[in-house]
Amino acid sequence: MKKERILSGMRPSGKLHLGNYLGALSDWVKQQEKYECFFMIADWHALTDRTDTRQIHQDTQDMLIDWLAAGLSPQESTLFLQSQIPEHAELHLILSMITPVSWLERCPTYKEKLEIGQENNYGLLGYPVLQTADILMYKASKVPVGEDQLPHLELSREIARRFNYLYGNIFPEPEPLRYDAVKVLGLDGKKKMSKSYSNEIALSEEPRLIEKKVLGMFTDPRKIYLKDPGHPEECNVYSYHRIFGPSWGKDLDGIFQDCREGRLPCTRCKKDLAQVLIKALAPFRERRKELEANPSELEKILAEGKKAASEVARATSDEVRKAMHISSAQG
């Protein structure tokens, strides 16, 4: 039986961090077995973030390396760069013609971006339409999404329905593929892990920096003196132990009890955590070094991804043009 197809993408944000890994990438790695996967580096989407594009190539390289180091496999999945498939832009244009502005103006993400003062340009408003084009292009039946992307996917389904109604049944309505994203707060223990908050630990972080960053983590503010009892259930450091500790044979109950009863100094707790993280990320750092030393390998992977994605995209483009009585781009 043919595997179902999924598509997902990330904006090229450079080197990824633990939050990216736990929140999405680790799930993608797992989905590779079960689904035919298209994973896209969304460099066109990245343009809503920045007008200064000088870093974009390096960010793309860095993210691709992290994907591979984390276990995305070019043998199993199609890894490609959005801007290398111009059909995305074409489909975006076509879909924009049948998408009411009011649908877009009520997207929570759009409203949030405006609230934080992001420039209200055409592209930002149309962001979910481009996303829809990305998904429909490959006729993905499922899309791995986090909580915040659900409204966008709902919009994609509406746009697909509308297109099908107007021009014929071409696009499947994409279903969300929910996963229990492991929520991990940043080092400050207050906001989600993000580069823009400078509270992140990169997957490729050097051991010395991992230790420095972990020692600076926010802890239970009620535990001030060494012998004060802690509240591990509320402590961000313990939540990291709970995520990473088990695979390294850490005695979680022991940490919990000792902290609670004031026998475990935060400093020791943090040093332990740093060691766990350093070990957990060691294979990742190794793999990254190999990939960094081999840029032609990366080029090859993207070239193959481009080829595979192009085939599908051209076919979809032809089908869409035909349905709309517009002449084919292939001549």
Partner RNA sequence: AGGUCCGUAGCUCAAUUGGCUAGAGCACCGGACUCCAAAUCCGGCGGUUGCGGGUUCGAGUCCUGCCGGACCUGCCA
User: What phi and psi values does residue 192 have, to the nearest 5 degrees?
Assistant: -65, 155
3-state secondary structure the chain: CCCCEEEEEECCCCCCEHHHHHHHHHHHHHHHHHCEEEEEECCCHHHHCCCCCCCHHHHHHHHHHHHHHHCCCCCCCEEEEHHHCCHHHHHHHHHHCCCCHHHHHCCHHHHHHHHCCCCCCHHHHHHHHHHHHHHHHCCCCEEEECHHHHHHHHHHHHHHHHHHHHHCCCCCCCEEEECCCCCCECCCCCCECCHHHCCCCECCCCHHHHHHHHHCCCCCCCCCCCCCCCCHHHCHHHHHHHHHCHHHCCCHHHHHHHHHCCCCCHHHHHHHHHHHHHHHHHHHHHHHHHHHCCHHHHHHHHHHHHHHHHHHHHHHHHHHHHHCCCCCCCC
**Quick one: which of 267, 283, 289, 294 contacts RNA (CB under 7 A)?**
267
* Binding pattern for the stretch 69-108 against RNA, x by CB under 7 A and - elsewhere: ----------------------------------------
139 vs 250 by CB, closer to RNA: 250
Whole-number minimum distance, CB 54 to RNA, in Å? 18
**Quick one: which of 1, 75, 122, 224 contacts RNA (CB under 7 A)?**
224
Q: How far apart are CA 11 and CA 30, in angstroms?
A: 20
Residue 261 is a binding residue for RNA (CB under 7 A): no
Residue 48 is a binding residue for RNA (CB under 7 A): no
**Quick one: which of 92, 270, 313, 320 contacts RNA (CB under 7 A)?**
270
Residue 265 is a binding residue for RNA (CB under 7 A): yes
Which residues in the 198-217 window bind RNA by CB under 7 A? Answer: 198, 215-217
Residue 157 is a binding residue for RNA (CB under 7 A): no
Q: Which residues are catalytic?
A: 113, 192, 195
120 vs 328 by CB, closer to RNA: 120
**Quick one: which of 230, 232, 245, 305 contacts RNA (CB under 7 A)?**
230
Whole-number minimum distance, CB 110 to RNA, in Å? 15
**Quick one: which of 223, 238, 298, 309 contacts RNA (CB under 7 A)?**
223
Residue 290 is a binding residue for RNA (CB under 7 A): no
Residue 234 is a binding residue for RNA (CB under 7 A): no
117 vs 331 by CB, closer to RNA: 117
51 vs 327 by CB, closer to RNA: 51
Residue 233 is a binding residue for RNA (CB under 7 A): no
- Positions that interact with RNA (CB under 7 A): 117, 119-120, 198, 215-221, 223-226, 228, 230, 265-268, 270
